[in-house]
Structure 1
Amino acid sequence: MSEFLLKDEMTPKERVEAMISGRPFDRVPCNIFIGDHAANIIGVKVSDLNFFSEKVLEGQLAANEKYGIESTGIGPGLAGIAEALGSKLFFPDHGAPYVSQYAINNVSDLEKLSVPDPVKGGRFSFVLESAEKLVDKLGKEIPVSVEVPGPFTTAGNLMRIEKFLRDTRKNPEFAHRILRLATDTTIAFIKEAAKLDVSMGIAEPSASGTLISYNMFKEFALPYLKEIVDTIKSLGKGSAYLHICGNTKKIWTLMADTGAESLSLDDVIDLEEAKKTVGDRVVLIGNVKPTETMYLGKPEDVERDAKECLRKAYDNPKGYVLALGCGFPIDTPPENIHALREAAKKYGKYPYQPELFS
């Protein structure tokens, strides 16, 4: 890395852009992607954040006022592409939506499906409207992203994941047809989202190394993820970040092969090992423990976890972003969020001060 500024006067957007472009920046970015925790701040149901763009904006503005967030965004959710294709979702008042009825239950069901309207399908219009509002109110200083589910994850929300995994072995041609439809629908939506001043992210939890093998990822996930990343690049959005849950050690190189600029890694991963393997190819993001530390821990636990992450990855050749290893728990104690922000400021400063870590 090159020389760094000695001051902490950059906006979150300036900091990330400088890191990605190799220019000097003041400290490690701290990606607190508040998500559904925003419902607690403004006193609404989590389900409201899935339908009312004004509530999304209100929640993110309140989160910024309370914590000083360094990123914000919106997306259709892990099952949102599948919803637009016909799966029915249930939206709990205090939890993430999940599939209540799958669009594909047999081979013939797939014949009835086609790429929906990229603006009107499912809740696409809600996502685009919310993203536009976030850009308008926060986008000058805070990066705004639109996150889409990866095709493998969408396939597992179009039909039961266990059935889809079985078909990758017993009926691979059918599995690829589902992935083709999922990819085409995702790309159609991305082309609409890319009209806004947003970056793009991909969450592909079902393609975890915990669930599928290296060869399965290479055949059923990599080509479609690469196609999506290539589309994002062609639209002038640079490259996307990619998050995959669980133990992804055996597929780090394949994740980098997608062309993603940043890899978000789960807390079961050793950042130092990831740095040695793919750190010269991608920005690393992570990986404070979401449940054990942020939700169940105390501020001192958060500080300890953040220090360890920074110690291992602060000098990643392509850059590093301090963040959680996975989704933000809705009921995370506010004092723990403040502790993470303070740890980034105290220990993430450049030039690096090793004495702070002793």
Structure 2
Amino acid sequence: MADMTLRQRFLDSLMGKDVDKVPACSVTQTGTVELMDATGVFWPDAHYDAEMMATLAIGGYEIAGLEAVRYPFDGTAVAQTLGCAIKEGTLDSQPSVLKGPCEIKEDALEYIIPDNFMESDRIVTILDATEIVREKVGDDVPVIAGMAGPAAIASFLLSAKNYLMWSITNPEIIERVVKIGVEVCTDYSNALFERGADVICMPDSEAGPDLLPPAIFESLFLPEYKKLCGNTSGPMILHMCGDATAILDPMANSGFEGLSIEEKVNLKYAKDVIGNRACLIGNVAPVDILLSSSPTEVKEQARACIENGVNILAPGCGLAPHTPTRNLKAMVSARDEYYG
């Protein structure tokens, strides 16, 4: 296994195969201000230009030593294309959704996906960035594309308040809009795979127990996730922010090859629950450790993650924009030192 490429190691880890050492990378947001300074590419421009997006994303691999290229840096592309108004973002803050197109029930029940979804500026930018990244890094580096998941899409379209309220009072609306999200994610994922992405990472915390009862995850999202994963043409990662402890078991049965969890979940317990049903990814604390602590403390937590059974060593959530590059390098170094 000594000659294993980064891409082979990552994909083998994701598929539950034996590897020489766990990959060390980020499956979530990788844009930082230090990497912007180093590459000469800055937010918010990098969200809307394919060449800039690719350059900044590759910086995480070439400069920080992360063993994958992950892009884009926010989750609003799908939302904007589906009709949401967004806030553009700044140098050190991501774009965000301001208002959805379905904030009354009638609109939610009549909403349809725009015919030109795949030709929209935001989507084309990310598809083009995929080709640029693949061409620049070649076949030996894993390429990870991110997108909002079906629950996030439903929350964007309906507004967070309606999403939570209607999940109780009008569950048929939530079910309808989640199915729309599944259709969007399926088509978009397959387009990304066709352009050269190796893996799709899908943050979908709006399906998690921090917002909705675990019973809704099992009754609504579990079958929809299975449908989504069954109709996509490559490996998928589900990223769940917050404390996902209560839904670890159904998450492992959802069809996603990888499960990315944050530090609120006890990693050893998660490994015991998930077993070999999915690849466990995480969960170095992005704020308390990677943003705020010393390289020595980063190494301590990274080593603990490996010892507790993580299959891919990664931040537990997206990187804070002011995360220092030295701490990203320390995470990778901790993995190298662990395997001696």
**TM-score (norm: length of structure 1):** 0.87
Tell me how far apart the structure 1 counterparts of residues 121 and 220 of structure 2 sit (CA, whole Å). Answer: 25
How far apart are residue 76 of structure 1 and its match?
Answer: 8.2
Match of 1:85 in 2: 82
1:47 correspondence with 2:44: yes
C-alpha contact (below 8 Å) 2:69/2:142 kept by paired residues: yes
Match of 1:327 in 2: 318
**Larger C-alpha radius of gyration, 1 or 2?**
1
Question: Could you list the per-position Cα deviations for residues 233-259 of structure 1 after superposition, in whole angstroms to 9, with x for gaps in the alignment?
Answer: xx2x1x311111111111011111211
Tell me how far apart the structure 2 counterparts of residues 229 and 40 of structure 1 sit (CA, whole Å). Answer: 37
Mapping of 1:6-25 within 5 angstroms?
A: 7=2, 9-20=3-14, 24-25=18-19
C-alpha contact (below 8 Å) 1:90/1:100 kept by paired residues: yes
Which 5+ residue runs of structure 2 have no aligned equivalent? none
1:278 correspondence with 2:274: yes
AA at the equivalent of 1:274 = A
Tell me how far apart the structure 1 counterparts of residues 76 and 171 of structure 2 sit (CA, whole Å). Answer: 22
1:301 correspondence with 2:300: no
Q: How many residues align?
A: 334
1:243 to 1:20, Cα distance in 2 relative to 1, 3 A: closer
| Aligned Cα root-mean-square deviation (Å) | 2.0
1:54 to 1:19, Cα distance in 2 relative to 1, 3 A: same
Tell me how far apart the structure 2 counterparts of residues 152 and 96 of structure 1 sit (CA, whole Å). Answer: 19
Question: Could you list the per-position Cα deviations for residues 180-228 of structure 1 after superposition, in whole angstroms to 9, with x for gaps in the alignment?
Answer: 2222222222232221232222110212222211111123322222221
Question: Could you list the per-position Cα deviations for residues 1-42 of structure 1 after superposition, in whole angstroms to 9, with x for gaps in the alignment?
Answer: xxxx4x4x4321121234345655321110135622143432
Match of 1:244 in 2: 240
Secondary structure of 1:109's match? helix
C-alpha contact (below 8 Å) 1:53/1:129 kept by paired residues: yes
**TM-score (norm: length of structure 2):** 0.92
1:167 correspondence with 2:143: no
C-alpha contact (below 8 Å) 1:78/1:149 kept by paired residues: yes
AA at the equivalent of 2:274 = V
AA at the equivalent of 2:84 = S
1:105 to 103, 106, 131: 103
Kindly, what percent of the aligned residue pairs are identical?
24
1:26 correspondence with 2:20: yes
Secondary structure of 2:174's match? helix
Mapping of 1:31-180 within 5 angstroms?
A: 31-33=25-27, 35-37=30-32, 38-75=35-72, 77-93=74-90, 94-110=92-108, 111-121=110-120, 123-180=122-179
C-alpha contact (below 8 Å) 1:152/1:207 kept by paired residues: yes
C-alpha contact (below 8 Å) 2:267/2:305 kept by paired residues: yes
Question: Could you list the per-position Cα deviations for residues 285-324 of structure 1 after superposition, in whole angstroms to 9, with x for gaps in the alignment?
Answer: 000010000000011110111111111115xxxxx00111
Secondary structure of 1:243's match? strand
Tell me how far apart the structure 1 counterparts of residues 224 and 282 of structure 2 sit (CA, whole Å). Answer: 24
Tell me how far apart the structure 2 counterparts of residues 21 and 112 of structure 1 sit (CA, whole Å). Answer: 37
Tell me how far apart the structure 2 counterparts of residues 59 and 329 of structure 1 sit (CA, whole Å). Answer: 15
Displaced runs of 4 or more, over 4 A? 20-24
Match of 1:353 in 2: none
Secondary structure of 1:31's match? coil
How far apart are residue 264 of structure 1 and its match?
Answer: 0.5
Tell me how far apart the structure 1 counterparts of residues 168 and 159 of structure 2 sit (CA, whole Å). Answer: 15
Mapping of 1:208-287 within 5 angstroms?
A: 208-232=208-232, 235=233, 237=234, 239-287=235-283
Match of 1:203 in 2: 203
C-alpha contact (below 8 Å) 2:299/2:331 kept by paired residues: yes
Secondary structure of 1:330's match? coil
C-alpha contact (below 8 Å) 2:151/2:178 kept by paired residues: yes
Tell me how far apart the structure 1 counterparts of residues 55 and 82 of structure 2 sit (CA, whole Å). Answer: 29
Secondary structure of 2:304's match? helix
Secondary structure of 2:119's match? coil
How far apart are residue 78 of structure 1 and its match?
Answer: 2.6
Tell me how far apart the structure 1 counterparts of residues 188 and 96 of structure 2 sit (CA, whole Å). Answer: 20
